[in-house]
């Protein structure tokens, strides 16, 4: 009997690529793919090449979405779905906004406008969920003052605006927001009479809540006299003549107002140890003081101006800040430090050898101070959210070094921001964060708001109330979609292989 032959291997028929199929055949191929995914428990919407959701398209302007629709290969939701998504977020997450008009105080004064979130409490609860802290703050940029919440999500610092108005951030401007029926809240927030009641509730209901902003804003919120007062610090009661000394923190009964408490009451109350000591402005103020005062006094002014000119940014007209005229901004100071321009300053040969050695030693020490101030006041915000013991010890050593050698090294008298550096160290030691809760994101929001106001909604110039409201609405909606819909897992790319054409096996 002849031996049995082994069965020939089955030949698997290869499938044509998806692009070569007709319309009905593509439908069948997609159906088979969904069935294959269902067998292993993966939903079909987990694929990465699906149509983007309406919520993910909210940060884009209507004109930008229209340009994307002109590309036939890209499919995004229609405007009706996006409008429906905005209405749904307004109901579920409190993103609805409204506008108001501030009362005029003088005969020739123009009408000023503003906008606010109608349900700020619900919006804050949703957006800041999971954040290790919240910081109430605000600032004026260009013609508008913004009030809101700084928080951290996925290791990124963000600022949520709750109210924007045209005016200054002084006492008179902020006091106008207390006008009855100016901001009528709805949803979860109708029990609050004004925005400061909402912000005070946020502070009282969260143990890890802080107050941030620049020095004038913090002084105004607390009705403090300011940095030019005999007691310039809003955190402690140090005298102006003893700025390098340590004093006790302010208490509620300490007098700090220009006017009696019956006429000028604080907008917010918070313990002094929960006030963020303006790390961004400390970095800018102390660094500019070293560059323009100490180095310019020690070396020739021409050398310092030439070094400053080499790091200056070239902004378009009207697109820069006050630092374009008076000082260096953050990126410019960073370039000055990175290039070690202080070490390039040359001592005059006409000086005695002893003076030349002293000037070089002071120059090197100031360069070291600039590098460490950048590391502890700014880089720590991105590198580490929680300070460890070694970093806190190094920060304290830097403070002692600056305080012990400031006048001898720079020849300059202590100034209020140098005193605030002590509170920065104390804040980091107590809360183990500093840069993460800084006012940096508020300053960045000014550029974002100005772009919306001057470019995207310039067509609403004849309706300033609606123009401001739309700018606030776009700013709020750009923060909500990141958590309003589920993100697509990157591992879903591998699932596309389930419906890919199979290679033909050899016979």
The confidence score (pLDDT) of residue 302 equals 85
Query: What are 64-86's pLDDT values in tens digits?
Result: 888 888 887 788 888 898 899 88
429 and 302 in one domain? yes
Is 327 within the bounds of a domain?
yes
481 pLDDT above the threshold of 80: no
Q: What percent of the chain has pLDDT over 70?
A: 83
Is 5 within the bounds of a domain?
no
Rounded mean pLDDT, 325-335: 82
487 pLDDT above the threshold of 80: no
Query: What are 147-183's pLDDT values in tens digits?
Result: 999 999 877 899 999 999 999 999 999 999 999 889 9
Query: What are 53-62's pLDDT values in tens digits?
Result: 888 888 888 8
Q: Domain limits at 377?
A: 280-436
How many domains does the chain divide into?
A: 2
Is 255 within the bounds of a domain?
no
286 and 431 in one domain? yes
The confidence score (pLDDT) of residue 500 equals 43
CA–CA dist 303, 482 (Å, integer) = 48
CA–CA dist 489, 287 (Å, integer) = 44
CA-CA-CA-CA torsion sign (144, 147, 151, 154): negative
* Residue 104 burial by Cβ neighbours in a 10 Å radius (0-12, 13-18, 19+): exposed
CA–CA dist 116, 87 (Å, integer) = 17
413 and 309 in one domain? yes
Asked which of 380, 404, 436 is the last residue of a domain, the reply is 436
The confidence score (pLDDT) of residue 441 equals 92
203 and 297 in one domain? no
Does the pTM surpass 0.85? The reply is no
376 pLDDT above the threshold of 60: yes
Name which of 426, 328, 407, 303 is nearest 365 in CA terms: 407
Is 26 within the bounds of a domain?
no
Confidence tier at 496 by pLDDT (50, 70, 90): very low
Rounded mean pLDDT, 492-501: 40
The confidence score (pLDDT) of residue 16 equals 82
Token pair for 253: 């009964």
Confidence tier at 498 by pLDDT (50, 70, 90): very low
456 pLDDT above the threshold of 60: yes
Asked which of 374, 407, 436 is the last residue of a domain, the reply is 436
Name which of 208, 217, 188, 207 is nearest 91 in CA terms: 188
Is 355 within the bounds of a domain?
yes
Token pair for 396: 């304290």
The confidence score (pLDDT) of residue 383 equals 43
The confidence score (pLDDT) of residue 124 equals 94
- Write the DSSP assignment of 435-471 as a string of letters: GGGSSHHHHHHHHHHHHIIIIITGGGTT-HHHHHHHH
Rounded mean pLDDT, 464-475: 94
101 pLDDT above the threshold of 80: yes
Separation of CA 137 from chain center: 11
457 and 339 in one domain? no
502 pLDDT above the threshold of 80: no
Is 133 within the bounds of a domain?
yes
348 pLDDT above the threshold of 80: no
The confidence score (pLDDT) of residue 1 equals 53
Read off φ and ψ for residue 140, nearest 5 degrees. -100, 130
Q: Are 374 and 336 in contact (CB under 8 A)?
A: no
Beta strands in 209-303 (DSSP E): 209-212
Q: Are 57 and 66 in contact (CB under 8 A)?
A: no
196 and 113 in one domain? yes
The confidence score (pLDDT) of residue 504 equals 42
The confidence score (pLDDT) of residue 426 equals 95
> Which run of H or of E encompasses 147?
strand 144-153
Query: What are 122-150's pLDDT values in tens digits?
Result: 999 999 988 999 999 999 988 899 999 99
Token pair for 106: 């003088």
427 and 314 in one domain? yes
Name which of 118, 128, 100, 126 is nearest 187 in CA terms: 118
Q: Are 469 and 449 in contact (CB under 8 A)?
A: no
DSSP code for 163: E
Least confident range of 153-157, 291-295, 409-413: 153-157
* Residue 165 burial by Cβ neighbours in a 10 Å radius (0-12, 13-18, 19+): buried
Least confident range of 222-226, 277-281, 469-473: 222-226
423 and 286 in one domain? yes
Least confident range of 202-211, 230-239, 296-305, 319-328: 319-328
Is 258 within the bounds of a domain?
no
Q: In the predicted model, what is the mean pLDDT of the chain?
A: 84
Read off φ and ψ for residue 496, nearest 5 degrees. -65, -20
The confidence score (pLDDT) of residue 322 equals 52
The confidence score (pLDDT) of residue 9 equals 66
159 and 106 in one domain? yes
392 and 302 in one domain? yes
Token pair for 461: 């110039």
Confidence tier at 492 by pLDDT (50, 70, 90): very low
Least confident range of 13-27, 304-318, 324-338, 430-444: 304-318
Confidence tier at 191 by pLDDT (50, 70, 90): very high
186 and 98 in one domain? yes
Is 231 within the bounds of a domain?
no
114 and 202 in one domain? yes
Confidence tier at 305 by pLDDT (50, 70, 90): confident
């Amino acid at each position: 009997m002849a031996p049995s032959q082994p069965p020939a291997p089955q030949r698997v028929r290869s499938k044509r690529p998806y692009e070569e199929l007709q319309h009905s055949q593509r439908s069948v191929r997609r159906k088979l793919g969904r069935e294959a995914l269902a067998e292993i428990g993966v939903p079909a919407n987990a694929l990465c090449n699906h149509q983007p959701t309406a919520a993910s398209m909210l940060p884009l302007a209507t004109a930008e979405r229209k340009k994307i629709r002109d590309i036939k290969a890209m499919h995004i939701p229609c405007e009706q779905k996006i409008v429906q998504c905005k209405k749904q977020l307004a109901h579920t997450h409190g993103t609805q906004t409204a506008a108001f008009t501030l009362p005029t105080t003088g005969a020739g004064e123009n009408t000023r406008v503003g906008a606010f979130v109608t349900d700020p409490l619900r919006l804050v609860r949703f957006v800041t969920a999971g954040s290790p802290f919240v910081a109430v703050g605000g600032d004026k940029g260009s013609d508008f003052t913004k009030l809101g919440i700084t928080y951290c999500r996925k290791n990124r610092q963000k600022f949520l605006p709750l109210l924007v108005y045209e005016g200054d951030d002084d006492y008179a401007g902020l006091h106008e927001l207390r006008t009855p029926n100016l901001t009528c809240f709805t949803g979860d927030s109708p029990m609050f009479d004004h925005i400061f009641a909402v912000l005070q509730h946020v502070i009282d209901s969260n143990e890890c809540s802080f107050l941030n902003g620049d020095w004038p804003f913090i002084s105004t919120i607390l009705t403090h006299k300011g940095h030019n007062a005999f007691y310039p610090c809003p955190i402690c009661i140090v005298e102006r003549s003893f700025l390098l000394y340590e004093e006790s923190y302010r208490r509620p009964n300490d007098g700090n107002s220009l006017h009696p408490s019956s006429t000028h009451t604080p907008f917010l109350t918070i313990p002094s140890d929960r006030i963020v000591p303006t790390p961004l402005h400390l970095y800018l103020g102390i660094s500019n003081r070293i560059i323009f005062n100490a180095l310019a006094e020690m070396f020739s002014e021409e050398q310092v101006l030439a070094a400053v000119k080499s790091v200056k940014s070239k902004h378009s007209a009207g697109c820069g800040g006050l630092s374009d005229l008076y000082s260096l901004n953050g990126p410019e100071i960073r370039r000055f430090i990175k290039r070690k321009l202080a070490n390039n300053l040359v001592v005059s040969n006409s000086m005695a050898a002893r003076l030349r050695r002293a000037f070089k030693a002071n120059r090197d020490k100031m360069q070291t101070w600039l590098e460490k101030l950048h590391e502890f006041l700014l880089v720590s915000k991105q590198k580490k959210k929680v300070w460890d013991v070694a970093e806190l010890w190094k920060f304290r050593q830097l403070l002692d070094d600056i305080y012990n050698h400031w006048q001898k090294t720079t020849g300059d008298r202590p100034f209020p921001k140098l005193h605030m550096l002590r509170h920065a160290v104390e804040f980091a030691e107590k809360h183990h964060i500093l840069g993460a809760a800084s006012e940096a994101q508020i300053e960045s929001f000014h550029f974002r708001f100005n772009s919306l106001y001057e470019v995207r909604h310039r067509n609403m110039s004849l309706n300033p109330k609606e123009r401001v409201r739309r700018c606030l609405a776009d700013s709020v909606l750009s923060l909500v979609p990141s958590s309003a819909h589920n993100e697509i897992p990157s591992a879903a790319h591998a699932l596309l292989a389930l419906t890919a054409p199979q290679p033909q096996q050899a016979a």
